[in-house]
Amino acid sequence: MPLELWAGPECTLNRVGDRFNDQLPASGFETRLDDLDRLAGLGITRMRFPMVWERTEQERGSYRWEWSDERIARLRELNVAPIAGLVHHGSGPAWTSLLDPQFPELLAQYAARVAERYPHIDAYTPVNEPLTTARFSGLYGHWYPHHCDDVSFVRALLVQMRATVLAMRAVRKVNPAAMLVQTEDLGHATSSPRLQYQANFENLRRWLSFDLLAGRVDPEHGLWKYLRRSGASEEQLEFFRQEPCPPDIIGINSYLTSERHLDDRIEFYPAQAVGGNGRQRYADVETVRVGGSIIGSFRERLRETGERYGLPMAITEAHLGCTREEQLRWLRQAWDAAHAVRAEGHDVRAVTCWAAFGSFDWNSLVTRNEGHYEPGLWDVRSTPPRPTALATLARQLGHGETPDHPVLQGPGWWQRAERLIFPPHGPIESMPVQGRPLLVTGATGTLGKAFARLCEVRGLPCVLLRRQDMDVADPASVDAALARWQPWAVINTAGYVRVDDAENDPRNWRENVNGPVTLAKACARHGVRLVNFSSDLVFDGHGERPYVESDAAHPLNAYGRSKREAETQILACAPDALTIRTAAFFGPWDHHNFITLALEALRRGQPWEAAHDQWVSPTYVPHLVQATLDLLIDGESGIWHLANQGAASWADFACMAAEGAGLPTGLVRGVPGASLDQTAPRPRYSVLGSERGLVMPTLEEAMACYLVDVGPAEGSAEPAADVAPSRETLETA
């Protein structure tokens, strides 16, 4: 039986205080029935389906089945079997909680109603990750009821586990063959020698949900005394021995942030990483950030689970909140790990593409509603959702094809030396960056240097080219460079950038039209992807709303005309090329951009003149580079607008930066653009929007990033506080 591909949308419905946070409307999955067709198109055999209690029984005793009726019927038509999830990091409707002794019976009643309405459903996850939810709700205080003690943790865990047993009992009265697919996050702890006892405790505790269901928790169990000391009665524990309900499939979820390292050498760590157990103070950080050896994650978790229980297993969540190539590498490694452990003789059934439509606010463990979005197999910032490279990879896996994306040849950041940010434990292991490179032209320019810098961070092989390495306007030079480096894509950042001089300088046409078109023709012949950059200056500025990709271009100046001509010719000769229109660069690595120069002048007490009648979309260079790389990896083509969301006159933009840096805005003098010796005519309003997808952060977010990245000497008075790492959100080193 081949390894199956499963999938599911992020469907957390948790409670913080009196606020219920629901991922399904946030991602739009709630309203898009055709998302099921998208999932089925991957070749999945099962879907983790959100039959979430809090959504269905919003009023006690009244069930809203219309939503699930329509979708369950569609899944039957698509021949995709659902795994019904009833509680997903939640605590039930408002009239109950994880500490309510009636919670198990209440959930069982709901499970019975589900089974009666959908008797053909043959797989259930009554409570997703009960141990994790008990920790976050009863031990760490993140989620309702926000307790922070062992008694509440144990009580919340036992309530959820009893609810699981009773729910499956109720379901099996209707469908005796119904399977329990029990999920859990099996994070593993390592430690410094003096904290080995704590690591041992946590490594045993992570099995508790499965041990309870399997009837293994007896007086000889290593946590029996802890459970009794934390309020569990013998009767409560004996229930699980008398009514074992072992999973039919153990669902393993594994996240890099769940692999923890405990260290008593607290002087090596930031204050926010330091806590304790009441007996000893220690730092608690991700193992990947401190471990000299490369962590194994899925392979090790599958292997040890198979050895412990001997039951069928599946990876029930494979998700990484990171850049696109790292998401691809994570999913591919999960798939390979499942195959490797199967080859060892363990029964691994499936790998689940999780967060198929992305997830929201896991950077704060879903404790704040800030709209922080991590794309998944589809990016819902486009309408309809735009398939990412992850969808292509998943489809290849689901149809038994060999994945072929060139970025898969490289190691993930968790396998490279730059993963380490604390003193490492043990000899440092790392894997070299490898694979076909990207060629980036414009070695001396702001954008070219930024691409080289961020490609290195992202583990993308990159060759930064000067004109003598490849003259983009010389066909022979281009062909020679492509033959020499064998790239999978070329990012052309070279070009003539002096807008006013372009009015009378013939080099503008050579560099901005002849060069990119020559490069596009060569890339098309060699089967190499191309990214080229255009400008907001292709528009005349007569509009009253942000320009989108399909709006007619009417340039006012020679620079804009050259950019528009390049767009047209590239589209004709290389339809799969990606053209990025952008505007008004600012960034932390170029000291000659508008904002950096403005802040320098204001610090010296000098006035700064800027146009108050020309409105633009300022673009933070790191955001532009990251978004461009993601779109390139996704295989996007045609024209895309990439600028930070928002608009400002040049004068307003300078004031925004001054205010953020704690400098007087009164020195910013708004003047007519015509008074600034601008030879080339400028559009009054060249703000960029997008009809293809709003993938760039807001201008306010961009400015905040800039002021942090340039540091307190050049930016804000104080650097922003570090954000504690979350369970599901990972950033490159």
pLDDT for residue 296: 78
Mean pLDDT of 300-319: 97
Residue 717 within any structural domain of the chain: no
| Per-residue pLDDT at 46 | 98
pLDDT tens-place string over residues 463-519: 999 999 999 999 999 999 999 999 999 999 999 889 999 999 999 989 999 999 999
Residues 400 and 476 in one domain: no
Query: Do 482 and 363 have their domain in common?
Result: no
Same domain, 470 and 513: yes
| Res 729 pLDDT > 60 | no
**Is 482 a member of any domain?**
yes
CA-based nearest residue to 376, from 364, 390, 396:
390
Residue 341 included in any domain: yes
Percent of the chain beyond pLDDT 70?
Answer: 97
Tokens describing residue 623: 């955001």
> Do 376 and 461 sit in the same domain of this protein?
no
CATH for 481? 3.40.50.720
pLDDT tier, 726 (very low <50, low <70, confident <90, very high otherwise) = very low
Global pTM value: 0.93
Confidence of residue 714 (pLDDT cuts 50, 70, 90): low
Which of 404, 430, 446 is the C-terminal boundary of a domain? 404
pLDDT value of residue 582: 97
Q: Show Cβ contacts of residue 285 under 8 Å, excluding neighbours closer than 6 positions.
A: 260, 261, 263, 269, 273, 422, 725
Q: Which residue has the tokens 């104080």?
A: 718
Is residue 716 predicted with pLDDT exceeding 50?
A: no
Residue 538 covered by a domain: yes
Give the strand pairing for 648-649 and 615-616.
antiparallel
Together in a domain, 310 and 442: no
One domain, residues 395 and 353: yes
Is 555 found in the same domain as 484? yes
- Confidence at residue 411, expressed as pLDDT on a 0 to 100 scale: 95
The predicted structure's pLDDT at residue 721: 32
Distance of alpha carbon 484 from alpha carbon 634, whole angstroms: 25
Q: Which of 15-29, 197-211, 285-299 has the lowest mean pLDDT?
A: 285-299
Instruction: Give the pLDDT score at 674.
Output: 87
pLDDT for position 676: 87
Residue whose C-alpha is closest to residue 180's, from 103, 243, 100: 243
Q: Compute CA distances 633 → 105, 409, 429, 544, 697, whole Å.
A: 49, 13, 27, 33, 19
Residues 397 and 467 in one domain: no
CA distance 113 to 106: 11
Q: What is the CA radius of gyration of the chain?
A: 28
Tell me if 414 is assigned to some domain: no
- Alpha helices by DSSP H, listed for 230-352, are 234-242, 298-309, 324-343
Average pLDDT over residues 370-387: 96
Please give the positions annotated as active site: 559
Kindly tell me if the per-residue pLDDT of 723 is higher than 50: no
Does residue 237 share a domain with residue 340? yes
| Mean of all residue pLDDT scores within the chain | 94
In a domain, 724, yes or no: no
pLDDT at site 724: 31
189 DSSP β-pair partners: 260
| Whole-angstrom distance, CA of residue 227 vs CA of residue 502 | 76
- From CA 556, how far away is CA 503, in angstroms rounded? 11
In this prediction, residue 713 has a pLDDT band, given cuts at 50, 70 and 90, of: low
Residues 391 and 473 in one domain: no
**Cα within 13 Å of Cα(265), Cβ side:** 10
Whether the Cβ atoms of residue 502 and residue 496 lie closer than 8 Å to each other:
yes
**Number of domains present in the structure of the chain:** 2
DSSP-assigned letter for residue 426: S
Residue-range definition of the domain harbouring residue 457: 438-709
| In a domain? residue 714 | no
Residue 427: cis peptide before it, omega within 30 degrees of 0: no
Residue where a domain terminates, one of 382, 404, 426: 404
Q: What is the pLDDT of residues 229-270, one digit of tens each?
A: 999 999 999 999 999 999 999 999 989 999 999 999 999 999
One domain for residues 546 and 590: yes
Residue at 655 is within a domain:
yes
Half-sphere exposure of 428 (CA within 13 A, CB side): 15
357's tokens: 């439509």
State the Cα–Cα distance between residues 321 and 315, nearest whole angstrom.
17
- Kindly report the CATH number assigned to the domain that includes residue 353: 3.20.20.80
pLDDT at 528 over 70: yes
385 with 510, same domain: the answer is no
Q: Which residues pair with 490 in a beta bridge?
A: 439, 530
Assess whether pLDDT exceeds 90 at residue 409: yes
